[in-house]
Amino acid sequence: MKATDLLAIALRIFALYLLYSTFMTAIQQYQYIHQVANVSAPGDVRGLVFLAIGQVACLLLVALALLKFPQTIARRLAAPASTETSTTGINAQELQSVAFCILGVYLVARSLADSFNNAAWIIYMLRGTPADQENLPAYAIQELITVIELLIGLFLCLKAEGLNQLIRRLRSAGVQ
């Protein structure tokens, strides 16, 4: 098994998780829009409907791309193959890079749905009454935390090999 094969398996698993998140987000958005429709004018709901449809569509497209093209995405995310491979086809450095990349994909998959959901709530609260805006700082902090998680996940996905080299250098510092 190669590093790209291992990463492709993880991408498929996280695509299934993202499909689940998409389904749950669609249900939540339907409930939120129904609540807003009961207390506001019909013109206010139209923007939220487009936002909810866009959010669910984006999550669905990312999940389907991960399901349809896991090998292609894995080849782009995985580090270039080294010349020293063991009998299983993957060495320790590649395994560590794949593990960092898998952790990054997990963080991205988890925080993607949360960031859309928090952004929708922030937009709703900004358009609402002052009573609606009481929880705005809490959602803004949650959105900030989610964006930081997303950036950490992207860093781990895209820079896993560099992080792997840094760890190897720190482990071998002073040893010759």
Confidence of residue 85 (pLDDT cuts 50, 70, 90): very low
User: Measured between alpha carbons, how far is 77 from 91 in angstroms, rounded to an integer?
Assistant: 17
Is residue 64 a part of any domain in this protein? yes
| Total structural domains within the chain | 1
Which range is least confidently modeled, 14-18, 56-60, 128-132, 148-152?
128-132
Residues 109-148 have pLDDT tens digits of: 788 878 878 887 888 788 777 777 888 888 889 999 999 9
Is residue 176 a part of any domain in this protein? no
Residues 27-51 have pLDDT tens digits of: 888 888 887 777 776 676 787 788 8
Is residue 107 a part of any domain in this protein? yes
Is residue 115 a part of any domain in this protein? yes
- Three-class DSSP category at 4: helix
Q: Which domain does 19 fall in, by range?
A: 3-171
Is residue 81 a part of any domain in this protein? yes
CB 165 within 8 A of CB 101: no
Return the pLDDT at 113: 78
Is residue 5 pLDDT above 50, yes or no? yes
